[in-house]
């Protein structure tokens, strides 16, 4: 029995979420195989082979997978599982945009249920996952022959990216479903760390009043080497782009330090950051729900407190 993991990668590098997913697979038990699908992914395959605990790396290097179109990758994954050269008991992927796009298609093709965003492995067939915006944790048991699972990266400590020596196997088959084609992408460029990988995150909410005032957070973040996020209220108000949103319908983060500025703390936002190691809240409303989860709270006008904090740094 073996576990197949769909590697998350971008720009020729393995994404950190893949390391968290390997950690989840290690807790399930069994041989861990990593699938690297893409075009020109030799470096990603080599890096994947070095991940601790990985026994084999399957490489599908073909133009059909150049942009990881879910219709194409899902057909590839399904074919690998159905092929039966190796009996896979589990198929895992990080709960990223790609993972959430690919695995439901795989589950449908295999006619099994999918288990989404697990945070704990109880046994090979039993898992815990958050529901109701993280206000409750469901324990889910699956009797499916192949368990199709997305993994919430913040629930598992990443394995080491070095130390492994997995065998690399090339896959010749190409699966172009012909249902979609890549048009273009616009990448946001920033010198600051990406939100889900940042060790420190500074986020602003509706209390920032407008987009121009986010300059205070950018300046603070630059001194801390932090990523900058926002609540859904700030995004919906047009203060910042939606790729900065932290929360249930945004990005799930669990940095070492999370600084919430002018954020009231709606449950949808808390669901995306409450696993942070240390939470600091700055809000002039002492009744704001954010203070219920904060390790440190400062009741103050953010337009006075943030510049003072920056000066102190």
Q: What is the DSSP letter of 37?
A: E
Per-residue pLDDT, 175: 81
Burial of 40 (0-12, 13-18, 19+ CB in 10 A): exposed
User: Per the annotation, where are the binding residues for FAD?
Assistant: 206, 231-232, 245-249, 262-269, 283
Same domain flag for 147 and 240: no
Q: What is the DSSP letter of 116?
A: E
Same domain flag for 152 and 11: yes
Per-residue pLDDT, 11: 81
Q: Is residue 180 part of a domain?
A: no
Q: What is the pLDDT of residues 83-125, one digit of tens each?
A: 878 899 999 999 999 999 999 999 999 999 999 999 999 999 9
> Which CATH number fits the domain that encloses residue 143?
3.40.50.620
User: Per the annotation, where are the binding residues?
Assistant: 206, 231-232, 245-249, 262-269, 283
- For 21, list phi and psi in degrees, rounded to 5: -70, -35
Q: Is residue 188 part of a domain?
A: no
Q: What is the pLDDT of residues 48-76, one digit of tens each?
A: 999 999 999 999 999 889 888 999 999 99
Q: Is residue 90 part of a domain?
A: yes
Lowest mean pLDDT among 110-114, 186-190, 203-207, 231-235: 186-190
Same domain flag for 34 and 113: yes
Q: What is the pLDDT of residues 157-182, one digit of tens each?
A: 999 989 888 999 999 877 888 888 88
Q: Is residue 195 part of a domain?
A: no
Q: How does residue 232 score in pLDDT terms, banded at 50, 70 and 90?
A: very high
Per-residue pLDDT, 202: 97
Same domain flag for 145 and 239: no
- What's the CA dihedral at 214, 215, 217, 218 to 10 degrees? 120
In sequence order, the 6+-apart residues with CB closer than 8 A to the CB of 208 are: 214, 216, 217, 234, 239, 261, 262, 302
Structural domain count, the chain? 2
In sequence order, the 6+-apart residues with CB closer than 8 A to the CB of 259 are: 200, 201, 202, 203, 220, 226, 280, 281, 282
Q: Is residue 82 part of a domain?
A: yes
Per-residue pLDDT, 193: 85
User: Residue 27, SS3?
Assistant: helix
Same domain flag for 149 and 57: yes
Q: What is the DSSP letter of 90?
A: E
Q: How does residue 283 score in pLDDT terms, banded at 50, 70 and 90?
A: very high
Same domain flag for 30 and 136: yes
Same domain flag for 127 and 244: no
Beta strand pairing call for 126-131 and 136-141: antiparallel
Same domain flag for 295 and 218: yes
Distance CA 223, CA 214 (A): 15
Distance CA 59, CA 39 (A): 10
**CA end-to-end distance (rounded Å), the chain:** 53
Indicate whether 191 pLDDT > 80.
Answer: no
Q: Is residue 148 part of a domain?
A: yes
| Listed residues 119, 148, 170: the one ending a domain | 170
Mean per-residue pLDDT over the chain, rounded: 93
Q: Is residue 184 part of a domain?
A: no
Same domain flag for 29 and 122: yes
Lowest mean pLDDT among 131-135, 184-188, 190-194: 184-188
Question: Is 5:33 a contact under the CB 8 Å cutoff?
Answer: yes
Q: How does residue 132 score in pLDDT terms, banded at 50, 70 and 90?
A: confident
Q: How does residue 10 score in pLDDT terms, banded at 50, 70 and 90?
A: confident
Indicate whether 214 pLDDT > 90.
Answer: yes
Which ranges of the chain would DSSP assign to H, the alpha helix?
Answer: 16-28, 42-49, 70-83, 97-110, 215-224, 232-236, 267-273, 302-312
Q: Is residue 185 part of a domain?
A: no
Indicate whether 19 pLDDT > 90.
Answer: yes
| Listed residues 116, 148, 170: the one ending a domain | 170
Q: What is the DSSP string of 262-297?
A: S----HHHHHHHTT-SEEEEEES-TT-GGGGT-SEE
Same domain flag for 209 and 114: no
Distance CA 138, CA 140 (A): 6
Same domain flag for 6 and 142: yes
Q: How does residue 209 score in pLDDT terms, banded at 50, 70 and 90?
A: very high
Per-residue pLDDT, 203: 97
Indicate whether 277 pLDDT > 90.
Answer: yes
> Which CATH number fits the domain that encloses residue 290?
3.40.50.1220
| Listed residues 151, 170, 189: the one ending a domain | 170
Same domain flag for 164 and 277: no
Gyration radius of the chain's alpha carbons: 21
Per-residue pLDDT, 172: 83
Q: Which domain holds residue 275?
A: 200-312
């Amino acid at each position: 029995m073996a576990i197949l993991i769909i590697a998350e990668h971008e720009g020729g590098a393995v994404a950190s979420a893949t390391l968290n997913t390997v950690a989840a697979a290690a807790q399930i038990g069994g041989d861990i195989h990593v699938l690297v699908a893409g075009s020109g992914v030799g470096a990603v395959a080599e890096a994947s082979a070095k991940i601790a605990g990985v026994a084999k790396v399957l490489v599908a290097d073909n133009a059909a997978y150049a942009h990881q179109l879910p219709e194409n990758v899902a057909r590839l994954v399904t074919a690998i599982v159905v092929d039966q050269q190796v009996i896979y008991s589990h198929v895992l992927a990080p709960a990223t945009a790609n993972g959430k796009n690919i695995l439901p298609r795989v589950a449908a093709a295999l006619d099994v249920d999918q288990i989404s965003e697990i945070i704990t492995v109880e046994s090979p067939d039993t898992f815990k996952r958050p529901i109701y915006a993280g206000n409750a944790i469901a324990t889910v048991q699956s009797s499916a022959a192949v368990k199709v699972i997305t993994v919430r990266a913040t629930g598992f400590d990443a394995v080491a990216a070095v130390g492994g020596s997995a065998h690399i196997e090339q896959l010749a088959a190409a699966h172009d479903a012909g249902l979609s084609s890549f048009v273009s992408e616009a990448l946001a460029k920033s010198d600051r760390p990406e939100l889900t990988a940042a060790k420190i995150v500074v986020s602003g909410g509706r209390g920032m009043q407008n987009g121009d005032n986010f300059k205070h957070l950018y300046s603070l973040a630059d001194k801390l080497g932090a990523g900058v996020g926002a609540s859904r209220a700030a995004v919906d108000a047009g203060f910042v782009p939606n790729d900065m949103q932290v929360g249930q319908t945004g990005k799930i983060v669990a940095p070492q330090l999370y600084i919430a500025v002018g954020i009231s703390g709606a449950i949808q936002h808390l669901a995306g950051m409450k696993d942070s190691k240390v939470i600091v809240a700055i809000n002039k409303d002492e009744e704001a729900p954010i203070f219920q989860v904060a390790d440190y709270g400062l009741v103050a006008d953010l337009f006075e407190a943030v510049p003072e904090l920056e000066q102190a740094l």
